[in-house]
Structure formats: structure tokens, C-alpha cells
């Protein structure tokens, strides 16, 4: 399968090239040239398929012959080594828990898939030069990438994070692995980290001496596998024929939501998407006013969604052929303040006996808003992270939060990081260490 740039000024590339480049030279996001629908009988008989079989059906057309079937099936089995359970709140609403992977956020799926595809291509490459993956993180991405690429041969990972601005658990997930993973601590903001990564990709010394790639969330190899669990949960919900289904997706950069829309394009009968946002709500305002007015991000308690100008929204526009009404028919949008999010957390704990994380609570509020005017829909909320990752918030409202092994095992490990002061220090680190 080939991919084109949504800016339409760069030439089309293979899956491998799109995976390694991340962004096209014209700065556009890559998009598959073609989306083939899955067969109707596959969807009708989805109950008979395992997670691994569903994932293979979904993804193989986007890779084509670049990875042979047996290798791709091995990659998928390895990526999906944890559960994706549905937890019922009542007959109408369920949470799809995407936090059972190694770093307890849905980003594990995309990061693990990308790492294994990259490792596959490196294995078959003659030159023995290793690849350096750069990633800037505001929290969850870095941990998922670190874990996904940990001990993968031929790949070094360098993560930049803003000193003092990620949670304790998130910092430990970035800084305690060692081996091929290095965490650089930057005295600045996430934007400063991101700017240094972008500058590295324009630096001739670096480009001439190191094979650089990025594990940014817009990478097709992180984005596409996120459609898998829309299929898994559709299967597990056991809908009856007359049921209509909506997915509520707590959204920041809109990658997860846009992967759900790809699942629908491939034939999964999803009737509606709900983009549940915190007060960083540019898409919600756009669908209400037709004016796209990006703003700097504002900090909230659901911080993985603090995005002022979501990078994947251009992919959504592309899926719906730039047709405003088509987007509006498919997508219900809503936004909530931190006070409202806290009310959602309390309601879930006290009324439903379910401990959510702040992002999942926003997803729940989105469903409540949606079913007011659509009472006969069944709804699945993507619970994007484990509540223990946000214990600073959640422990204020319950004493029953249990810290799982994935988190307790890193929390007492010793942090190892390198403090980096400015771009030159970063560059020297990449060239000489």
C-alpha cells in the first residue's frame, strides 16, 4: 500500500517509508491511497474471530507485501499480549478498558506496533547502522514509546520531557528502563521539547551522521493499529440487530477517534462518534460555528487532551471529503470543564461503583450529553488510561484505588535522566554519546 501526503506536494511513499519518515517532506500527514471495505460476512461473523485474526484482517491491506503474512501475524500476536475488556455500567453504556498494557494507556498498542514494524525492516536491511528514535512527550507518549521499543535491536530511543511537568508515575515510566532508552530532561515546556526535536530533523550534521526517525503520534504505524479495538469491542458488546452504536472517545490530538472512523470506513457499522473534550475544544467550536480557531492549549486535569490544534483533524476532514455536513452527521462534539470532570468522576464512583481516570470521566460526560437527545443508542466509552496513573486527582474522591503491578513496579525504581540545556547540548548528546 502506498501513502500520499495530505498537503499533496510530496511524492507517494511505501508503508516502510511513511513509517520511517513520519511526516512527509511537505509537512503533510500521510494517508493511505485506498481503503478497502472488509467483507460483509467477516463483519456479520465477527464473533467467530480472535483479536489477532481481527487485527490481521484490518491491517494487512495497509502494509501489503512489505511484511509477509507470517511475520505480520507474529508482530500482531506480540503487540496484543494483553486484554481489552468491556466493563458494563448498565445495559446502555460500557467502558472499553484500553489500559491493560505495560504502561497502562491506549498508546501502548500503537507504540508496540510501530516498534515491531521498524525492527522488522531494520532486520532485513544491509547497513548495520542503528536507528535513533526521537520523541518529545508531555506525559503518556514517552512511556508507551520507551516500553514499546525497550530492548528492540538496532534502535536507540531518546525521549525529551519537560522537567517537573510530567506526573511522578509518568516520569518513572520514562526514566527507569535504561538499556536502549535514554530520557533527556529539559528545563522548559513540552513545546520547547517538541521544538528541539523538530530542529534536529533539519540539522545537516545530525542527518549526515545518524539515522533519525520520530515516534510521534501522527505516524501511520501508531495511528492505524488503534482501529483494532473498535472491532474487538463491537464484537464483545453483542448488539442486537436494531441497536445503534456510538463510541465516545476522550480526544486530544484526535488520533484515536480518527482510527475509529477508519474502522467505520472499512465497514464496521458504527452510527456515531462522540468527541469528548476538556476545555481545549477547537473542534467542538468548529462544528458549532464553522470557524476553525486554534488556540494555545490550557492545562487541565485530563492533561493528555490539552491540545489546542489537534494534528489528526486533517485526517478526519479527508475521510469525510471536506464535507462539513458529513462530518457533523458522524460526529457529536462536547466539551467539559475540570469542575464538570470532577462531578463525572464522583458520579461514576458513587453511583456506578466504577473508578475512572479523568480522561474516561470526560468520555462518560460526553455520553451523558449525547444520550439526552439520542436515548436509544448503545454507547461504548474508551477508557484511555488506568486511574492509578492520575492518582493525585482520583485519590481525592475514593480510598479504593488499587495500584496495579505495572505501576507499583516502577514507582520505587531509581530515575536516570540526563539534563539538557539547549539545542547544542542536545545535538552533542546525539552525536557523541
3-class SS letters over 293-318 = CCCCCCCCCCHHHCCCCCCCHHHHHH
Q: At what angle do helices 168-175 and 140-149 cross, to 10 degrees?
A: 30
92 backbone dihedrals φ, ψ, rounded to 5°: -95, -35
H/E stretch holding 378: strand 377-383
Angle at 11 (CA atoms; ends 8, 12), nearest 5 degrees:
95
Distance in Å, CB of 16 to ligand PLP, minimum:
23
* Residue 105 binds to ligand PLP (criterion: CB under 6 A): yes
Catalytic residue, from 21, 107, 172, 389: name it. 107
* Residue 251 binds to ligand PLP (criterion: CB under 6 A): yes
Alpha carbons 40 and 52: distance in angstroms, whole number: 19
For ligand PLP, which stretch binds (CB under 6 A), given 21-29, 190-198, 207-215, 252-260?
252-260
Number of H helices, E strands in the chain: 20, 14
Ranges within 187-226 binding ligand PLP (CB under 6 A)? 217
Has 165 been annotated as catalytic?
Answer: no
What is the total count of residues that contact ligand PLP (CB under 6 A)? Answer: 16
Ranges within 354-373 binding ligand PLP (CB under 6 A)? 359
* Residue 140 binds to ligand PLP (criterion: CB under 6 A): yes
Nearer to ligand PLP, 175 or 216 (CB): 216
Q: At what angle do helices 107-123 and 140-149 cross, to 10 degrees?
A: 40
Alpha carbons 341 and 344: distance in angstroms, whole number: 5
Distance in Å, CB of 34 to ligand PLP, minimum:
23
DSSP single-letter state for residue 382: E
Do 335 and 27 form a contact (C-beta atoms < 8 A)? Answer: no
Alpha carbons 24 and 77: distance in angstroms, whole number: 30
x/- letters, 32..71, toward ligand PLP (CB under 6 A): ----------------------------------------
Contacts of 286 (CB under 8 A, 6+ apart): 292, 293
CA 143 remoteness from chain centre: 12
Which of residues 13, 46, 304, 349 is near ligand PLP by CB under 6 A? 304
* Residue 275 binds to ligand PLP (criterion: CB under 6 A): no
Which of residues 142, 255, 260, 344 is near ligand PLP by CB under 6 A? 255
Distance in Å, CB of 253 to ligand PLP, minimum:
3
* Residue 253 binds to ligand PLP (criterion: CB under 6 A): yes
For ligand PLP, which stretch binds (CB under 6 A), given 158-166, 247-255, 260-268, 335-343?
247-255
Q: Could you count the other beta carbons within 10 Å of the beta carbon of residue 411?
A: 13
* Residue 102 binds to ligand PLP (criterion: CB under 6 A): no
* Residue 162 binds to ligand PLP (criterion: CB under 6 A): no
Nearer to ligand PLP, 132 or 302 (CB): 302
Query: Which residues are tagged catalytic?
Result: 107
Chain residues in the site for ligand PLP (CB under 6 A): 105, 107, 140, 217, 250-256, 304-305, 359, 384-385
Amino acid at each position: 500500500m502506498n501513502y500520499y501526503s495530505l498537503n499533496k506536494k510530496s511524492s507517494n511513499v511505501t508503508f516502510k517509508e511513511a513509517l520511517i519518515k513520519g511526516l512527509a517532506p511537505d509537512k503533510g500527514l500521510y494517508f493511505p491511497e485506498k481503503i478497502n471495505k472488509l467483507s460483509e460476512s467477516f463483519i456479520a461473523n465477527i464473533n467467530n474471530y480472535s483479536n489477532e485474526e481481527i487485527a490481521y484482517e484490518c491491517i494487512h491491506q495497509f502494509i501489503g507485501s512489505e511484511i509477509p503474512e507470517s511475520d505480520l501475524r507474529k508482530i500482531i500476536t506480540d503487540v496484543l499480549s494483553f486484554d481489552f475488556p468491556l466493563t458494563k455500567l448498565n445495559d446502555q453504556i460500557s467502558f472499553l478498558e484500553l489500559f491493560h498494557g505495560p504502561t497502562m494507556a491506549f498508546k501502548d498498542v500503537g507504540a508496540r506496533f510501530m516498534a515491531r514494524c521498524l525492527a522488522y525492516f531494520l532486520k532485513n536491511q544491509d547497513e548495520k547502522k542503528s536507528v535513533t528514535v526521537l520523541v518529545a512527550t508531555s506525559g503518556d507518549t514517552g512511556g508507551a514509546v520507551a516500553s514499546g521499543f525497550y530492548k528492540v535491536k538496532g534502535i536507540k530511543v531518546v525521549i525529551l520531557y519537560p522537567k517537573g511537568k510530567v506526573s511522578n508515575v509518568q516520569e518513572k515510566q520514562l526514566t527507569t528502563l535504561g538499556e536502549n532508552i535514554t530520557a533527556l530532561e529539559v528545563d522548559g515546556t513540552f513545546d520547547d521539547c517538541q521544538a528541539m526535536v523538530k530542529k534536529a530533523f533539519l540539522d545537516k550534521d545530525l542527518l549526515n551522521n545518524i539515522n533519525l526517525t520520530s515516534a510521534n503520534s501522527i505516524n501511520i504505524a501508531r495511528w492505524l493499529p488503534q482501529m483494532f479495538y473498535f472491532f474487538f469491542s463491537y464484537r464483545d458488546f453483542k448488539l442486537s440487530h436494531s441497536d445503534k452504536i456510538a463510541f465516545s472517545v476522550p480526544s486530544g490530538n484526535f488520533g484515536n477517534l480518527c482510527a475509529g472512523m477508519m474502522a467505520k470506513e472499512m465497514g464496521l457499522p458504527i452510527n456515531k462518534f462522540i468527541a469528548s473534550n476538556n476545555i481545549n475544544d477547537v473542534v467542538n467550536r468548529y462544528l458549532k460555528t464553522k470557524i476553525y480557531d486554534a488556540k494555545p492549549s490550557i492545562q487541565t486535569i485530563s492533561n493528555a487532551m490539552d491540545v489546542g490544534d489537534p494534528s489528526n483533524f486533517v485526517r478526519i476532514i479527508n475521510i469525510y471529503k471536506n464535507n462539513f455536513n458529513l462530518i457533523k452527521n458522524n460526529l457529536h462534539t462536547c466539551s467539559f470543564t475540570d469542575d464538570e470532570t470532577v462531578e463525572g468522576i464522583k458520579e461514576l464512583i458513587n453511583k456506578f461503583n466504577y473508578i475512572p481516570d479523568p480522561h474516561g470521566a470526560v468520555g462518560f460526560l460526553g455520553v451523558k450529553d449525547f444520550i439526552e437527545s439520542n436515548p436509544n443508542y448503545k454507547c461504548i466509552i474508551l477508557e484511555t488510561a488506568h486511574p492509578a496513573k492520575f492518582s493525585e486527582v482520583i485519590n481525592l474522591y475514593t480510598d479504593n484505588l488499587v495500584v496495579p503491578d505495572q505501576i507499583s513496579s516502577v514507582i520505587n525504581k531509581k530515575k536516570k535522566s540526563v539534563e539538557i540545556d539547549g539545542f547544542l547540548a542536545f545535538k552533542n548528546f546525539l552525536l557523541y554519546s
